[in-house]
């Protein structure tokens, strides 16, 4: 699955695109710091992380 399409389709409606990108960036930096021991960035791992964060942001958008 192309992560860019997932992000575009699932972008929360309550916040703007710039805010959404900012939040994703902050979450990624935090996640990367916690997983630095795992070595180089693993694309499938990042894809799973992206999907979980998008779902989390969708849930927050519904509240």
Average pLDDT of every residue of the chain: 76
Residue 41 confidence (pLDDT) above 80: no
Q: Is residue 22 part of a domain?
A: yes
DSSP 14: S
Of 17 and 62, which is predicted with more confidence? Answer: 17
Beta strands in 1-63 (DSSP E): none
Q: Is residue 29 part of a domain?
A: yes
| Number of independent structural domains in the chain | 1
Q: Using CA atoms, how far apart are residues 27 and 9, in angstroms rounded to an integer?
A: 19
Task: Give me the mean pLDDT over the 35-45 stretch.
Answer: 78
Query: What is residue 45's predicted lDDT score, i.e. its pLDDT?
Result: 86
Q: Is residue 56 part of a domain?
A: yes
CA distances from 15 to 34, 38, 44, 55, 62 (A): 26, 32, 27, 15, 12
Residue 17 confidence (pLDDT) above 70: yes
Closest CA to 58 of 20, 1, 5: 20
Query: What is residue 32's predicted lDDT score, i.e. its pLDDT?
Result: 84
**Whole-structure pTM value:** 0.56
Domain that holds residue 4: 1-8+17-33+43-63
């Amino acid at each position: 699955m192309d992560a860019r399409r997932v992000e575009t389709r699932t972008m929360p409606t309550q916040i703007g695109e710039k805010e959404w990108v900012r939040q994703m960036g902050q979450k990624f930096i935090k996640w990367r710091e916690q997983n630095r021991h795992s070595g180089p960035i693993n694309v499938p791992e990042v894809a799973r992380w992206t999907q979980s964060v998008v779902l989390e942001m969708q849930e927050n958008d519904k509240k």
